[in-house]
Amino acid sequence: MLLAWLVLHQWQAFSRSDQALSDFEIFRAALLAMEKVSAERGPMNAALGEDVPVPAQRIAALRKAREESDASLRDLDAAIEASHCQECAALYVTATHTITTLAEARKHADDVLLVPRQTRSPELLNNAVNHMANVIPIIAGIADGTIEDIVSGDAAILDDLQMARLAAALREHAGLLGSRFTGALASDRQLTEQEQQRIFNSEGRVEQLRTLLASHAGNHPALAPEAVRRVGMVYGEAGLAYVTKVYRRAKRPTGAGITT
């Protein structure tokens, strides 16, 4: 969608500099890894909504998502290794830290999946979500660490990089907003006050990022208007309307009556 278009546009605009192109490949691989690891929370949340033993189809979906995340992180490692940037040694350390942190988050989720559904506490479920969410800023740091070198090759590319970064952040926070309901939906109970506050915070962040992206897009005449419209629809009115609907149901004393 918008992110894919921006990546292609940046690649073409930046082909003049070999080193900058190499740095950009790291940036691109990091954003794609963010997407895959973020998407992994979906089947994880779905599995957390099941009782033990977790149905085979849920486990299969989670395994497939993990394989896709792992493949994207291997691509990121390869991009860093293929580059000769001054920061590559530090970026490689960060990439290794990402893999370790992700493995720990998965282990935490797997441990929760062994606990009978009725005895999974709100803290246990929310911690599983938070552990996975904590992986994303580490990968984002790799993307951010390449921007200065990329821009040094062509300052005109900065706006494109910022838009791609905003699009990635918007996608992540929109996904995280949905994950904020996992604890309540998986336990079929009412949202706690702390969970409600986290939902408010995430919703505000999504709206902020959507506004920033729209503002940048308005200053980018080459950007496809259909891509901007779709982003506004998916992460704006339609997406937030669905969140509001689920939120109202999840506030009921009896719970939302739906699962993850």
- CA atoms within 13 A of residue 147's CA, in its CB half-sphere: 17
Domain assignment present for 98:
yes
Domain that holds residue 25: 2-250
Domain assignment present for 81:
yes
Window from 55-69, 158-172, 213-227 with minimum mean pLDDT: 213-227
Phi-psi region of 83 (alpha: psi -120 to 50; beta: other; left: phi over 0): beta
CA angle 79, 80, 83 (to 5 degrees): 85
Domain assignment present for 129:
yes
Domain assignment present for 112:
yes
Q: b/e for 12-24, b at 16 or more Cβ within 10 A?
A: eebeebeebbbbb
Between 164 and 93, whose confidence is greater? 93
Domain assignment present for 220:
yes
CA angle 41, 47, 49 (to 5 degrees): 105
- Per-residue pLDDT, 66: 98
**Please, are residues 125 and 189 in contact by the beta-carbon 8 Å criterion?**
no
Task: Tokens for 144, please give them.
Answer: 């951010």
**CA separation, residue 71 to residues 2, 36, 66, 228, 253 (Å):** 22, 9, 9, 29, 42
pLDDT digits (tens, 9 = 90+) for 54-101: 999 999 999 999 999 999 999 999 999 998 877 889 999 999 999 999
Domain assignment present for 57:
yes
Phi-psi region of 160 (alpha: psi -120 to 50; beta: other; left: phi over 0): alpha
Domain assignment present for 255:
no
Task: Count the domains in the chain.
Answer: 1
Q: Under 8 Å CB-to-CB from 11, ≥6 apart: which residues?
A: 21, 24, 28
What is the mean predicted confidence (pLDDT) over 163-188?
91
Domain assignment present for 257:
no
What is the reported pTM?
A: 0.88
